[in-house]
Amino acid sequence: MAEGTKKPFSVREIREQFPALRQTVYGKNLIYFDNGATSQKPQVVLDAINRYYSKDNANIHRGVHFMSQKATTEFEEARIAIQKYLNAKKSEEIIFTKGTTDSINLVAFSYGELLKEGDEILITTMEHHSNIVPWQMLCERKKLVLKVAPINKKGELIEEEFDKLLSNRTKLVSVTHISNTLGTINPVKELAKKTHAVGAKILVDGAQSIQHMKVDVRDLDCDFYVFSSHKVFGPTGIGVLYGKEDLLDRMPPYQGGGDMISKVTFERTTYNELPHKFEAGTPHIAGGICLGEAIRFLNALDMDAIQRHEKELAHYAQDMLDTFEGVRIIGEAKQKTSVVSFVVDKIHPFDIGTLLDKQGIAVRTGHHCTQPLMDFFKIPGTVRASFAFYNTKEEIDTFIAAVEKSISILK
């Protein structure tokens, strides 16, 4: 859809498309502020799931019959929708995976096969465990060295330190686009430039970015971009690895099985071309098709207006929380998305989260799979409210009153 034809953003109209938001928990209207963990699904995606299994269910590729061809077409159309949304050069560069974690593991295994002892991988302090552990495993397997670029107290990457750690030994930089715990937006375009200047490749963890901003992989010039469907209004169990074609071509397959082969004999097997080389076995067909639907849904929205709305929500919540005595916001980066993480003096995040839950408000508490980051801030965890475009200022008012009530009970 052309930019000019996008419908003006209306939070009321958007909410109507998300049935999960219309429910009560413990007798209270649900307020869903756990969007960093997963997003709710619009009716078009729910309908697509129903339609696929009711009418189109068939195994894809190689099927001669009507249904198989229809399912194949829809699956491949979803790939094209994602390619266009990310502005990738070719649809072959879009690999379906199980999600962000799976995509990173694929790269760690497969790109890792091209690396040799002493090569370095560079990550940052604010990474999610899924962008730490696969590299640790790779480093152990291939005797590589893992380097970690530090952050400042505001939760921003210290770029001078990043620059110092970058060298001709660096073979891959793997960095989150947006921190799931802090909301910090990393300057991945600049990081990509610096990375390429030393001849290394860069993977951008997009788990928290694609639902909040327009992502153009060619503009960012990242070598890999990964994300999960379920965080971007699609189903669970499916995700994407975008990789530049020449790079993916050089990488060996990750898993063996059906679909990823060209010819199999007991003596020697040759592999299929991209993207199938990396998609062994029957994929999550319904998931892929419905992710395509979610991406089309997103594409029809005015992303600039959404970003403004989400930023306003986050600022509003943060400003209100700032007025509470003993509340400390964790993550005060200048470039930040709609995540508000906080701790309260002498009160455990788990206690606040439990009381908010009983008031109908879903937030996340704990270390958010970023234990090294919690160690950096010397806290056991945070309370994290993460907003999506379907959240409202009124919900934040209710949330703030609930936080206030919880603190007064817990003090």
Partner 1 sequence: MNINEKQQEIIDEFAIYDDWMEKYEYIIELGKELEAFPEDKRTDDRLIDGCQSRVWLSTEIENGNMHFRADSDAIITKGIIGLLIRVLNDETPETVAKTDLFFINEIGLQEHLSPTRANGLLSMVKRMKMDALKASVDAAKN
Annotated catalytic, 290? no
CB of 375 to partner 1, least distance (A): 14
Q: Which is nearer to partner 1, 58 or 410 (CB)?
A: 410
Cα angle value 106/110/116 (rounded, 5°): 135
Whole-angstrom Cα distance, residue 336 to residue 339? 8
Q: Which is nearer to partner 1, 264 or 401 (CB)?
A: 401
* Cα 35 from chain centre: 11
CB of 354 to partner 1, least distance (A): 5
Beta strands in 114-155 (DSSP E): 120-124, 145-149
CB of 373 to partner 1, least distance (A): 15
Whole-angstrom Cα distance, residue 8 to residue 251? 43
Q: Which is nearer to partner 1, 178 or 383 (CB)?
A: 383
Closest CA to 311 of 335, 343, 342, 341: 335
Residues 6+ apart with CB under 8 A from 4: none
How many other CB atoms are found less than 10 A from the CB of residue 327? 19
CB of 10 to partner 1, least distance (A): 34
CB of 200 to partner 1, least distance (A): 34
Whole-angstrom Cα distance, residue 58 to residue 142? 40
Q: Which is nearer to partner 1, 103 or 359 (CB)?
A: 359
What residues make contact with partner 1 under the rule CB under 8 A?
A: 26, 347-348, 350-351, 354-355, 358-359, 365-367, 380-381, 405, 409-410
> Helix (H, G, I), strand (E, B), or coil: what is residue 56?
helix
Choose, from 139, 222, 290, 369, the residue flagged as catalytic: 369
Asked whether the beta carbons of 206 and 215 are under 8 A apart, the reply is yes
Q: Which is nearer to partner 1, 228 or 406 (CB)?
A: 406
Q: Residues with catalytic annotation?
A: 369
